[in-house]
Amino acid sequence: MESVTFDLQHSTVREVNQFLHGSVGTLEGCHVMVASPNGAHNIAVGVDAPVSITIDGHAGYYAGGMNQLATIVVEGSAGTGVAENMMSGRVHVKGFASNGAGASAHGGLLVIDGDAGLRCGISLKGGDIVVGGSVGSFSAFMAQAGRMVICGNAGDALGDSLYEAVLYVRGEIKSLGADAQIEPMAEADLTAVGELLAAAGLDYDPAAFRRVASARTLYHWNADADQEY
């Protein structure tokens, strides 16, 4: 496997991204190391090739945003919007993630070893998110499709205005958002959680998780509800 290193003490993020936006033939099977990231924003954004990328430290805003096909590992924590609008591939944050992790992700897998901030998985559209720690308030707000596994606790208004996304929570839920409800775990849920935990390298009992899904009362306007759900 060819290996290329960019040290951001001497190179720019633009140079890194220009290389990562090269032809699939050039990038396929390549490993790109981004050294000394020091919280720089927009690292490895818009990658559209089966390339392996290691960010050797902390990343700023939108690391791995719009990812497609690439495998991206952040060997530290990540700022707002990591893996935002991801289409496929894998993004793995070894530390913590700030607000809006995995926002609007259509596909792929986002793994966060530590905690995630507010609105993790907001407007999720089909991707999978596994959080080894806890998530902040309004996580999975308006999540339309996809799955989220939370191994720790969840803050206020979890799953507010959920559509067809399904959440699995091992710890305490401070409160559920509008139209979210706890449902029984079926055999298919246990299998799904087990597979996602295995993919994330986490060893928890799937039976310890609770399923949170939509009660579907917000699907149609109800004038008699007087805005109370």
pLDDT at 218: 83
The pLDDT value recorded for residue 220 is 72
CA 63 to the chain's CA centroid: 11
Identify the pLDDT of residue 103.
Answer: 98
Q: C-alpha angle 101/131/39, rounded to 5°?
A: 45
The segments of the chain whose pLDDT lies below 50 read none
What is the CATH topology of the domain spanning 3-225?
A: Pectate Lyase C-like (2.160.20)
> pLDDT tens digit string along 152-172?
999 999 999 999 999 999 999
pLDDT digits (tens, 9 = 90+) for 106-151: 999 999 999 999 999 999 999 999 999 999 999 999 999 999 999 9
Q: What is the structure's pLDDT at 93?
A: 98
CA distances from 188 to 119, 147, 193 (A): 26, 13, 9
This prediction's pTM: 0.95
Burial of 25 (0-12, 13-18, 19+ CB in 10 A): exposed
- What's residue 228's pLDDT? 61
Closest by CA position to 59, among listed 86, 22, 94: 94
